[in-house]
Structure 1
Amino acid sequence: MVKEHPILETRDLTVRFGGHVAVDHVSCRFDRGTLTAIVGPNGAGKTTYFNLISGQLPATGGSVFLNGEDITGMSVPNRTERGIGRAFQLTNLFPTLSVRENVRLVAQAKARMGFDLFSIAESHVELLERAEHVLAEVRLIDQADQIVSALPHGDQRKLEVAILIALGPQVLMFDEPTAGMSVDEVPVVLELIQKLKSDLDRTILLVEHKMDVIRSLADRIIVLHNGALVADGEPAEVIALPVVQEAYLGKAPEAAA
C-alpha cells in the first residue's frame, strides 16, 4: 500500500541572512484536515518559515512540497494557484475598493477570467453572488459597499479571511490573525477559523502568541527556537515542555498554570 503524501511538507528548509541562520533545516509534515499552531519567542523564525512556505522568501537550502510536488522554486502566484493561501500579520487588501469588490476580484482571479470584458459581463452576477455568499459567511454582508480603508481593524481581518475563502486554498496560513484586535473582535475571527477547520479537506497553519487561542484551536503545536524545530506534538504535551515554558512563555516549568 502506497502511503499518501502529506498535503504540505518541508524538508531541511533553511534560509540565511549573511551569517545568521533564520530558519535552520526545518523538516515537518502537515496532514490534510489538521490545524497546526507554530509558536516560539520573538525572533524564533515563525514568520520567516511562513514566508519560505508561501514563497515570499527564497530558501537558501531544503525544499517545500505540496501534495508531493516540489514547489521550492515556484513563485507566490504559482503556489497560490496550486492551493496555498496566506493571510498576513498586517492586512493586505485593496484599501480604495469596496469590501464586495475585494472579494469579487479574488473570485474572478480564481475563476481564471482575467479582465476580458465579455467574460466579466457574462459572469458578473455569478461572481457577485459568490462574493456575497462569502461575505455573509464572515458576517460582513452589511459592510459590502463600504470602502476598505474605512473599515475597523477587526473587520479588515475578517475581510482577509473572506478573501482566503474565496481563493479556495487547500492550505490556509494565518500569521497572528488576532493581532491588534479588541477583546470583542477576537471571538468572531476565532469562530471563522474554527469553521474553516471543520472542513477536513483543508489544512491550517497558524502563527499565534495568545496561548488561549492556541489551546482552543490547535490539533498540534510545533515550536521554533533560534530558527530550529525544537518540539512537535499534541498541545497539552508541548505546552508542558520546559523549552516552551522557559523560552516561549518566559517562566519556569513549576510556575506554569
Structure 2
Amino acid sequence: MPPVLETRGLTVRFGGHVAVDAVSCAFHAGTLTAIVGPNGAGKTTYFNLMSGQIPATSGDTLLEGEDISGLGAAGRAQRGIGRAFQITNLFPNLTVAENVRLAVQARGRGAASLFSLWSRHRDWIERADHYLELVNLSGVRDTQAAALPHGDKRKLEVAIMMALEPKVFMFDEPTAGMSVDEVPVILDLIRTLKRDGGKTILLVEHKMDVVRSLADRIVVLHNGKLVADGDPATVIASPVVQEAYLGQAPKREAAHG
C-alpha cells in the first residue's frame, strides 16, 4: 500500500548547521514507528518539519501522495496530521471538557444553522465526553485544564488529538516529565490507538524499554541523517546504533562451538 506520510530529501538549515539532512522516509497505516537517536540528532526538528511547525530549507512532505510542503501547521492539522508535544499544548483557562469539545467542533464540517445549532452542540458534548472516558478523565471534565497534574495534562492532550481524528498520530516524548505511576496510562492509550490497526503512529522517545514495547519499526537519526531503519531487534543490534545511539562500541559476536 502507498504510504500515508512521506518525506523526500527533507532538509533544514539553521545558519551553517544542518539539523535535518536530506531525510527520505515513508510511514504506512497500521505501523507504529519509533524515531530515536542521541540528543541533538534532529528527531524533534524532523517532527516539526513534518507537522509544519517550521519550514523546510529543501525537500518535500507528502500526505497520502499529496504534496503538503506549502502548508503550515494549521493547514496540515486540517489535512490530518495530529501532533502531541513534549510540552503540553492546551487551552489552560478552559475546562477539560471544553478543550476536547473545541477539537470535536474543529473536526466538524459545514456551518451550523440556527435550527441545527443546538443538536450539533449536544452532539459535540457527547463526543467530547466519549474521548474523555477513553482517557479516564471523565471525573475531572469540569476542571480547568491549568489545574490538572502533569500526567492528566498529557492524557488531555491525547484526548484532543483523538477527537481531531487525524490520519497520522505524532507523539513527541509522550512520557517526558511523568512519574513512574503515570507512564503506563499514556502507553496504554498509545497501545489502544495501535490496536485499531489502521492508524499511522510516529513516536519520538528516549526510553528504549518504551520503544521496545511499542514499536513495529525503528528509524534512527544521527547528526540529522537517517542512519538505520528496520524492525526493532535488527536496528537495536546494529553496529551503527550501538555506536551512534547507545554510545557503545559495536559488540563482537560470541564464538560458538
Q: When the two structures are superposed, what TM-score results if normalisation uses the length of structure 2?
A: 0.94
TM superposition shift of 1:22: 0.4
CA distance in 1, matches of 2:116, 2:44: 38
CA distance in 2, matches of 1:128, 1:191: 24
Match of 1:70 among 58, 67, 72: 67
CA distance in 2, matches of 1:52, 1:119: 39
- 1:206 equivalenced with 2:203 (yes/no): yes
Quickly say closer, same or farther: Cα 1:225–1:147, change in 2 above 3 A: same
CA distance in 2, matches of 1:209, 1:137: 26
Match of 2:12 among 1, 12, 15: 15
> Who is 2:149 aligned against?
152
Q: Specify the SS of the correspondent of 1:254.
A: coil
Q: Specify the SS of the correspondent of 2:248.
A: coil
Q: Specify the SS of the correspondent of 1:25.
A: strand
The one-letter code matched in structure 2 to 1:53 is M
Contact 1:37 1:208 in 2 (8 A): yes
CA distance in 2, matches of 1:171, 1:11: 17
CA distance in 2, matches of 1:163, 1:26: 29
TM superposition shift of 1:82: 1.1
CA distance in 1, matches of 2:110, 2:185: 32
Match of 1:244 among 205, 225, 241: 241
Q: How many percent of aligned residue pairs carry the same amino acid?
A: 69
Quickly say closer, same or farther: Cα 1:24–1:119, change in 2 above 3 A: farther
Q: Specify the SS of the correspondent of 2:251.
A: helix
TM superposition shift of 1:254: 3.4
Match of 1:254 among 229, 251, 255: 251
The one-letter code matched in structure 2 to 1:45 is G
Q: When the two structures are superposed, what TM-score results if normalisation uses the length of structure 1?
A: 0.94
- Structure 1: tracts of 5 or more residues without a match: none
Quickly say closer, same or farther: Cα 1:151–1:117, change in 2 above 3 A: farther
The one-letter code matched in structure 1 to 2:224 is G
> Who is 2:88 aligned against?
91
Contact 1:9 1:28 in 2 (8 A): yes
Match of 2:158 among 148, 156, 161: 161
Contact 2:93 2:146 in 1 (8 A): yes
CA distance in 2, matches of 1:30, 1:57: 20
Contact 1:113 1:119 in 2 (8 A): no
TM superposition shift of 1:123: 1.3
Quickly say closer, same or farther: Cα 1:160–1:114, change in 2 above 3 A: farther
Alpha-carbon RMSD across the aligned residues, in angstroms, is 1.6
